[in-house]
């Protein structure tokens, strides 16, 4: 065995801003991606950003970051950071991402890309300019990288369900049905942009457009707020998904609790969408069904290792939905993990996101979904909101 020291593996040094739920999910991905997948660059968790020194230090210790900053501006300027990962509420995405791109850092930005179409346009333009300098960007629509969803995309692209005619998509949660759940940032328009629509509706818009390879062209929607006043959280750190103490004061909920819309696609296909935080008993159900001329696909995140496939070209006598357990090494992303049948979870989508991003950065190839893809989703969200306010159909084009 050679006694020569091994050359250091080339590194990709990460600076991440935000350390709540998404920060923890992203940290897990940065920690584990290169331990399961063969990556051309080894992610180094260089610095974690957060506003409060004690809290960010504790989070860095727990999540595995080497150092901390309490000012994101210092973090994006640091010479020992190559990529900035933005895991903060939507109202901060634009400023942080623009500063990071200007500083020559690659950017991974949580979804939705921004709170407004105007901001998303600014970001998409900045990303395009940055790409000319070899600086790359990606939006965190992580569910694309659930193996069953990646397989669904493959089957549609291979023509296995023929021409897509109809799609129905639901994202169902119930974490704010209780009216005493505090008024977190996710329920404030100036911070979150919108409610169920942007937070979880954005995911099903991206997933459906990804699986079908088609774009939503027009929408007719309705937004509803069921609980319009909620107790104010005892501290700004009160759980973003409902936990934490409250004060006796209340404040207005300024976003939707539920959003529904019907959509036409560029191809002429038709879609029905529903995003809600009031589906009592549904915790994180993401249900997507795609019907084509030669077959159908159906997925539910509450059974995320499974894809249902109906091949309508099979003889009638034996045709029917078959349950594919998407855990074979031949299925997307699965080979790097466990033996068939052992299954993956929510966190693996984030790991796959890191894997694809690191490979793209190493190759100098633009990753997907791009900021332009994020902008397109933002246009759909905006069209749904305008449709709800004006009671009219809206086009999603610029
Ligand atoms: C909260 O509704 C939330 O955490 C979303 O913000 C995430 O994007 C989704 O993955 C789970 O639910």
Helix (H) or strand (E) holding 250: strand 246-252
pLDDT, position 6? 46
Q: pLDDT band for 236, please (50, 70, 90 cuts).
A: low
283 lines ligand 1 (CB under 6 A): no
pTM of the model: 0.95
> Could you tell me the residue ranges of all domains in the chain?
10-142, 147-345+370-395
pLDDT at 1: 42
Inform me whether the pLDDT recorded for 16 exceeds 80. Answer: yes
Residues in the chain, overall count: 398
**If pLDDT is split at 50, 70 and 90, which confidence band does 8 have?**
low
Q: Residue 200 C-alpha to ligand 1 middle, in angstroms? A: 6
Per-residue pLDDT at 247 exceeds 80: no
Which tokens sit at 329? 């090494």
pLDDT at residue 260, as a whole number: 98
Residue 83: strand, helix, or coil: strand
Q: What is the whole-number distance in angstroms between the Cα of residue 95 and the centre of ligand 1?
A: 22
Q: How far is the CA of 314 from the centre of ligand 1 (A)?
A: 38
Q: What is the CA radius of gyration of the chain?
A: 21
Per-residue confidence band for 241, with pLDDT thresholds at 50, 70 and 90: low
Residue nearest to atom 9 of ligand 1 (CA): 200
Please tell me the distance between residue 240's alpha carbon and the centre of ligand 1 in angstroms: 10
Using pLDDT thresholds of 50, 70 and 90, give the confidence band for residue 243: low
Residue for token pair 């990556």:
39
pLDDT digits over 145-182, tens only? 999 999 999 999 999 999 999 999 999 999 999 999 99
- In the CATH hierarchy, which top-level class contains the domain 147-345+370-395? alpha beta
For residue 373, give both structure tokens: 């893809």
CATH 3.40.50.720 fits 10-142, yes or no: yes
Retrieve residue 140's tokens.
Answer: 């965190």
Nearest-atom index, ligand 1, CA of 199: 6
38-92 per-position pLDDT tens digit? 999 999 999 999 999 999 999 999 999 999 999 999 999 999 999 999 999 999 9
């Amino acid at each position: 065995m050679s006694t020569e020291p091994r050359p250091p593996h080339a590194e990709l040094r990460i600076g991440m801003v935000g350390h709540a739920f998404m920060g923890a999910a992203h940290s897990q991905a940065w920690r584990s991606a290169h331990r399961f997948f063969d990556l051309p660059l080894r992610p180094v968790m260089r610095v974690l950003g957060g506003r409060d020194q004690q809290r960010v230090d504790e989070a860095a210790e727990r999540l595995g970051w080497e150092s901390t900053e309490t000012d994101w501006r210092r973090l994006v300027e640091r010479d020992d950071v190559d990529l900035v990962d933005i895991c903060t509420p939507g109202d901060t995405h634009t400023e942080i991402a623009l500063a990071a791109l200007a500083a020559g850092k690659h950017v991974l930005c949580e979804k939705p890309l921004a709170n407004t179409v105007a901001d998303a346009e600014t970001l998409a333009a900045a990303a395009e300019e940055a790409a000319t300098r070899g600086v790359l960007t990606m939006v965190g629509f992580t569910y694309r990288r659930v193996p069953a969803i990646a397989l669904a995309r493959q089957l549609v692209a291979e023509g296995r369900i023929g021409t897509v005619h109809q799609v129905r998509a639901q994202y169902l949660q119930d974490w704010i049905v209780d009216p005493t759940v505090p008024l977190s940032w996710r329920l404030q328009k100036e911070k979150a942009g919108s409610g169920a629509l942007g937070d979880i509706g954005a995911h099903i818009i991206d997933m459906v457009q990804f699986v079908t390879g088609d774009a939503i062209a027009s929408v007719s929607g309705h937004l509803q707020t069921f609980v319009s006043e909620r107790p104010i959280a005892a501290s700004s750190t009160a759980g973003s998904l409902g936990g934490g103490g409250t004060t006796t004061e209340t404040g207005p909920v300024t976003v939707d609790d539920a959003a529904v819309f019907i959509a036409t696609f560029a191809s002429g296909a038709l879609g029905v969408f529903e995003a809600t935080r009031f589906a009592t008993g549904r915790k994180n159900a993401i249900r997507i069904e795609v019907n084509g001329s030669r077959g159908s696909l159906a997925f539910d995140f509450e059974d995320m290792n499974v894809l249902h496939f109906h091949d309508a070209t099979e003889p009638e006598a034996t045709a029917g939905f078959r349950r594919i357990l998407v855990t074979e090494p031949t299925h997307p992303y699965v080979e790097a993990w466990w033996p068939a049948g052992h299954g993956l979870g929510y966190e693996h989508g984030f790991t796959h996101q890191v894997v694809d991003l690191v490979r793209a950065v190493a190759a100098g190839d633009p990753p997907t979904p791009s900021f332009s893809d994020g902008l397109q989703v933002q246009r759909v969200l905006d069209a749904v909101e305008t449709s709800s306010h004006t009671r009219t159909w809206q086009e999603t084009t610029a």
